[in-house]
Structure 1
Amino acid sequence: MASIFSLASLAICSLLSGALALPSHQARALSARSQNSSVDVNVLYSFGDGTWAENLAVRANGQILLSRLDTPEVLQLDPRGIRDPITIASWNASTYMGCLGISETTPDMFYVVTSGFVNDSFVLTSGVNSIWEIDMSTFAISNTTGQVLSNATVSKLVDVRTSDFLNGMTTLSNNTILVADAYNGWVYRVNTHTGAYSVAVNDTKMKFDSIPNPPTNLGVNGIKLHDEHLYWTNTAVGTLNRVRISSNGTRVGTSEVVVDNVPKADDFIFKNDNVAFIAQNQMDELSVLYPWANEAKVIAGSNISTTLAGVSAGKFGRLPSDSHILYLTTSGAEGLPINGTVTVPATLSWIDTSRF
């Protein structure tokens, strides 16, 4: 396993070094999008070179579960940064490429995607995409030493053999999750009691090839349920979209584009006042979308900076002390190196959203 360390024990992290030095003509070409950065980004944990933090979920006790895509692992991280990361679950790296979407259904019951191996076009080349259950109710650590006293209970729910590249996940009900297939451009409904799955939503706005010459083969990526709608990003098209859905996850009516100025959009999250924060992984940017706005605005990072290199997903804290804190996973720009060559260690970072 790549080395992992907590920034609580360090005075500074190399990721806080700011913008990369660029030739003057490239600096002059910096877009207005990047110039809008205005939020301090704080690194809580940093991981070794070549790592990729993909997604996260927050437990009711405030502890953070993080999925890694560079290796098939789920870690637990302390929001105060006072403990080293704890490996909650790991799988054979010759069987699974890594982990992606993760979501909680009932208290401390989580589900996570383990991915088969895909090529650069995100076509499955070997293995199978699976969904696993992680029961954190059996997990315990010593409050004084941090030593693991009992492990989480991990079991396979189902192999999704008709899928190509499973990615985002959200919870529909106590016994149902929705999972995005970014390559095929549809969303599965999965019963967490039986493992039965089927395509629940298949929409043109989920397809990467709904535009000519798409820049990537990733279509529907992040998915969330909000105000009786299923929201999703389309990474290739650079949009946030939505459609009303029924209680069983099927669509009601036609879909619509919410905003179309979020290139390379990955996952996203809604604040309790309906403000949305959108991670744009391969743009190295985080954008905010107000409920009354018709476009999103970049508030942190840029595509010439390591500040939020490969920001991939976000979740809010669940304690009174950190409910305004947005925790962010980053891939270290492994998906698209900054300036064509620069990658950095992946991180769990955070921003204060009090003023949004």
Structure 2
Amino acid sequence: MFSIILTAVAAAAVALSESLPSKTLAQLEVGTFLENIAVRSNGDLLVTKLWPSAAIYTIRSPWERRNKLEEIISIPSIQSIYGLAQVTPSRQGVETFVFVGGNSTTPGETVTGSFGAWAIDFESPRNKVKVRKISDMSPRSKFLNGVTAIPDISDVVLVADSANGFIGRLELTTGTFDTSTFRFPLEMDPVEDARLPIGVNGIQIRDEHLYWTNSFQACIYRIAITPTGHPTMYSRPELIANLSSGVNFLDDFAFDIDGNIYASTNLDNSVVFIDAQSKEWKTVVGGIGEMTVAGSTSVAFWSRGQR
């Protein structure tokens, strides 16, 4: 089952005092694991499938009453697709999203060296879809997960390896994957003896900082970066929020227009809100023992005219 939360942007101002409404837009058969969400410029949703096969779905006009998940591409050579991010357009009339995926024995149990990166292009005016492989990544890649684009750069994305504990830099034109760009073991490595080897997970860039979750630490960190997406000189990770007193796991997240963070908790079946100023947090949808957003893995915002 897969639920997507629809809320007004104004809800962020009251998120610490009340829960937010939600509704299920679409769902697939039991045993399906959907992973990541991205929003197209027209408001359509793109959704990646992690298990039991690698595919990307769309939900067209999710604000309408009736919705469905439509498969638009599949990658038969792998079993799982993880992170997905839109890059700055390199050609007029083309929307490009980059995603990573690989083989798995079970959801969360990945096969080292099986990962790759692909791009999906939506070409107007007929909305034609094209898929192309970008890279075989590193043979040592264990669990490629979160993906984020660098603002105003069309040929580079950052990719998190949750098991190896780093965020690498993928050159889209050459397929070169630099695994040394962001390597901070204390803030990125998996927690010792965690049930799954997942450290750094969701990644986002905002206001010249790279943010990431460390899943089983239940923490969010950030580091200052250059306009080209490298760490600034002498910069070190900064702890933004520690939710470990009440949260067991943090997955992907998104910022609202005020810089507040909404994060999915996966194992805790909820979405949490972190205030940008006070760093206070609260569960705003779902909770342990609830099915409202059971297994929540991703959060995304969109409003007409603004992604």
Alignment TM-score, normalising by the size of structure 1: 0.72
For the residue of structure 1 that corresponds to 2:262, the secondary structure is strand
Q: 2:121 aligns with which of 129, 135, 142?
A: 135
Tell me the amino acid that sits aligned with residue 57 of structure 1: A
Q: Which amino acid aligns with 1:114?
A: G
SS in 1 for 2:236: strand
Query: Retained in 2: the 8 A contact 1:67–1:101?
Result: yes
Change (3 A) 1:183 1:88: same
Matches within 5 A, 1:64-213: 64-70=45-51, 71-78=53-60, 79=62, 80=64, 82=66, 84-92=68-76, 95-107=77-89, 108-118=95-105, 122-124=109-111, 128-137=114-123, 140=126, 151-161=128-138, 162-172=140-150, 173-199=153-179, 200-204=181-185, 205-209=187-191, 212-213=192-193
8 Å CA contact 2:47–2:58 kept in 1: the answer is yes
SS in 2 for 1:198: strand
Relative contact order (C-alpha < 8 Å, sep 6+): which is higher? Answer: 1
Deviation string, structure 1 residues 87-123 (Cα, Å, up to 9, x no partner): 221011xx31211100111341111112222567745
Unaligned residue ranges in structure 1 (runs of 5+): 8-35, 142-150, 325-356
2:269 aligned with 1:269, yes or no?
A: no
The answer on 1:62 being equivalent to 2:43 is: yes
C-alpha change, 1:183 and 1:269, in structure 2 (3 Å) is: same
Give distance in 2, aligned partners of 1:109 and 1:120.
27
* Cα deviation code 1:216-265 (max 9, x no counterpart): 32000000001111100001211011111122322221111111114310
Q: 5 Å matches for 1:209-228?
A: 209=191, 212-228=192-208
Runs of at least 5 residues in structure 2 that lack an aligned partner in the other structure: 5-16, 90-94
Greater shift in the superposed pair: 76-85 or 223-232: 76-85
Per the alignment, do residues 299 and 84 of structure 1 end up closer, same or farther by CA in structure 2, a change over 3 Å counting? closer
Question: CA separation of 1:249/1:217 partners in 2, compared to 1, >3 Å: closer, same or farther?
Answer: same
Write the deviation string for residues 280-334 of structure 1: whole angstroms up to 9, x where unpaired: 01111110011112332111111101111011001112425xx69xxxxxxxxxx
User: Is residue 40 from structure 1 mapped to residue 21 from structure 2 by the alignment?
Assistant: yes
How does the TM-score come out when normalised to structure 2? 0.83
Residue 68 of structure 1 aligns with an amino acid whose one-letter code is K
Query: 1:215 Cα deviation (Å)?
Result: 4.5
- Residues 169 and 222 in structure 1, CA contact (< 8 A), matched pair in contact too: yes
8 Å contact 2:50–2:107 — kept in the other structure? no
Residues 284 and 84 of structure 1: CA distance in aligned 2, closer, same or farther (over 3 Å):
closer
Distance in 2 between the 1:157 and 1:231 partners? 24
Select 1:298's aligned residue among 275, 283, 287.
283
CA distance in 2, matches of 1:302, 1:314: 16
CA contact (8 A) 2:25 2:67 kept: no
Aligned partner of 2:75: which letter? W
Matched pairs, number: 277
CA distance in 2, matches of 1:225, 1:244: 10
Moved over 4 A (4+): 4-7, 118-121
Partner of residue 271, structure 2: 286
